Structure 1
Amino acid sequence: MKVGLFIPCFIDAYFPEVGIATLELLERFGVEVVYPRDQTCCGQPMANSGFEKDAAATEALFVRNFSGFDYIVGPSGSCVHHVRDHFTAVEQMGDVADIRARTFELVEFLHDILKVDAFPWARFPHKVGLHNSCGTLRGLHHAHASELHEPFFSKPEALLSKVEGLEFVTPSRPDECCGFGGTFSVFNEAVSSKMGYDKVQDHAAAGAEYIVSADNSCLMHQRGCAERIGVPMKFIHIAQILNGAEA
């Protein structure tokens, strides 16, 4: 199995440790991983801001970079959601539809494709609050959405439950948006901040030591909110825990 490693631009710039953890984790399971060095932004910020046509060049570059792989895997639910469901600025010909269908977020790739049943190297003896971003929850269907009254399921929880010592704690409003929303946090700063404050306080009230997510953008936003209001919370990407990160 040959996988193209898709590392979103903000992870590359601000959270390279998450990209490294993703690479190492995939290689632990015998996956051949290639990192196309010409990759840049997938075009999500432009598309989300209403400039869909301006994303065409970045989408075309993505197609060129990731043609020929069995799968494309990235540690960002929102970016993968864009590629798979909103990647429409580039002309839909040739490899485009195939690449969109073969692009997976890390959690769903481990759960659905590799069907991983153990992480023997991982130990994380902490109380953890799980944050499913809106894109992963309602776009990629990482877990049941409570407002739909679906039967319970959670792919990230299923994976994290295999980590020794990890204890889940649940906030009172687990599916509530944290307020990041990409450019929403820029153009609606006050609302975004209040939502973030509410979110981290809800996790803190549940007893969480760490908030873990498959979306570093949400973690970045919540960490800033926690620091501003003095909530002593830590934040970590799921790839790091599954790869055996020590607290």
Structure 2
Amino acid sequence: MRAALFVTCVNDALYPRTGIAVVRLLERLGVGVDFPAAQSCCGQPQYNTGYRRESEPLLRRTAEAFAGYPYVVTPSGSCAAMVRTHYPRIGRLAEREGRGPGLAALAEELVPRVFELTEFLVDVLGVTDVGAYFPHTVTYHPSCHGLRGLGLGERPQRLLRAVKGLDLVELPDAGECCGFGGTFAVKNPDVSVAMGTDKTGNAVGTGADVLCGADNSCLAHLDGILRRRGEAVRTLHLAEILASTEEEPLT
């Protein structure tokens, strides 16, 4: 089996270790991983800020970059939700308004091949125990796009519970938004920080060593608040925990 890694802008620019962890994890599970170099931004920042037309070329670029791959795997519920929920709408509207011929078809063809990482592991590969080892206490923050946009449910927690040495503790009010929301954090910084402060306070209260998530955009926001408050809890993407083993521990 082969899959393409849709690494996302945030991971490529700021968290390359997450992309490396995904490759390491999938290859350990017998999946060959390709990285199409033509991939770029999925267009979510533009779309969410109201620049819908500016997101249309990025839809086309993304669809063409991943053409021919049976599986496109991304360590981001946010970007997966952009493709699966909004690409078809963007394509249909563009064609209705006389722009972007074939854009709707490109979107519809791409959608069923795009999987958030935990979906791919649990639903496609059929695994929850990926052979990971991570001897720490962890609490999990479900991002809004993963929880409500994709309906990931308990998939991330099932994977974490199967990690050897890991003690998973429940995060109070886990379903509440962390306050990042992409450009929401830029437009509404005071509200965003207040929401993030509530979320990080709950994380600290669990006594966990690590606040884990499946979206580095959320984790970047929460990590900034934790650091400014001088808290010892560190943030870490789920993929990096799942890629860690006794033979190859996370470094």
Scaled by the length of structure 2, what TM-score is found?
0.90
Structure 1: which amino acid aligns with 2:168? Answer: F
Rounded Cα–Cα distance in structure 2 between residues aligned with 1:235 and 1:160: 15
Q: What is the CA–CA distance in structure 2 between the aligned matches of 1:99 and 1:217, rounded to whole Å? A: 23
| Aligned with 2:144 (options 128, 134, 139) | 134
Do 1:128 and 1:210's aligned partners in 2 also have CA atoms closer than 8 Å? yes
| 8 Å Cα contact 1:11-1:18 kept in structure 2 | yes
8 Å contact kept, 1:131–1:212: yes
Tell me if the contact between 1:197 and 1:229 (Cα under 8 Å) persists in the aligned partners: no
* Partner SS, residue 89 of structure 1: helix
Q: Is the Cα contact below 8 Å between 1:67 and 1:95 reproduced in 2?
A: no
- After superposition, the C-alpha distances for 1:66-110 in whole angstroms (9 at most, x for unaligned) are 110111111111001100111133454444212111100001100
SS at 1:207 equivalent: coil
2:163 aligned residue: 163
Between the aligned partners of 1:94 and 1:179, the Cα distance in structure 2 is 34
- Once the 2 structures are TM-superposed, how far is the Cα of residue 135 of structure 1 from its aligned partner? 0.4
- Give the aligned partner of residue 43 of structure 1: 43
5+ residue gaps, structure 1 = 144-153
Among 101, 125, 129, which residue is 2:135 paired with?
A: 125
Paired with 1:95 and 1:215, the residues of 2 have a C-alpha distance of 26
| Matched residue, 2:63 | 63
Q: Partner residue of 1:178?
A: 178
**Equivalent residue for 1:214?**
214
Task: Give the conservation status (yes or no) of the 8 Å contact 2:141–2:171.
Answer: no
Cα offset, 1:34, TM superposition: 1.1
The aligned amino acid for 2:126 is K
Aligned twin of 1:149: none
Counterpart in 2 of 1:8? 8
**Aligned residue identity for 1:29:** L
Structure 1 residue 171 displacement after superposition: 2.6
Q: Kindly indicate whether residue 108 of structure 2 is the aligned counterpart of residue 97 of structure 1.
A: yes
- Matched with 2:29 is 29
Q: Which amino acid aligns with 1:112?
A: D
- The aligned length equals 236
Rounded to whole Å, the distance in 2 between the matches of 1:75 and 1:4 is 12
Contact 1:5 / 1:72 at 8 angstroms: preserved in 2? yes
Distance 2:209 2:17 in 1: 20
1:181-213 Cα distance to aligned partner (Å, 9 max, x none): 000000000100111111111111111110111
Pick the structure with more helix per residue: 2
Q: Distance in 1 between matches of 2:18 and 2:152?
A: 19
Q: How big is the alpha-carbon RMSD for the aligned residues of Structure 1 and Structure 2?
A: 1.3
SS in 1 for 2:90: coil
Unmatched runs of 5 consecutive residues or more in structure 2: 92-99
Residue 228 (structure 2) aligns with: 228
**Are residue 116 (structure 1) and residue 144 (structure 2) matched?**
no
Q: Does the 8 Å CA contact 2:45/2:182 hold for their aligned counterparts?
A: yes
The TM-score, its normalising length taken from structure 1, stands at 0.92
CA distance in 2, matches of 1:100, 1:242: 26
Moved over 3 A (4+): 90-95
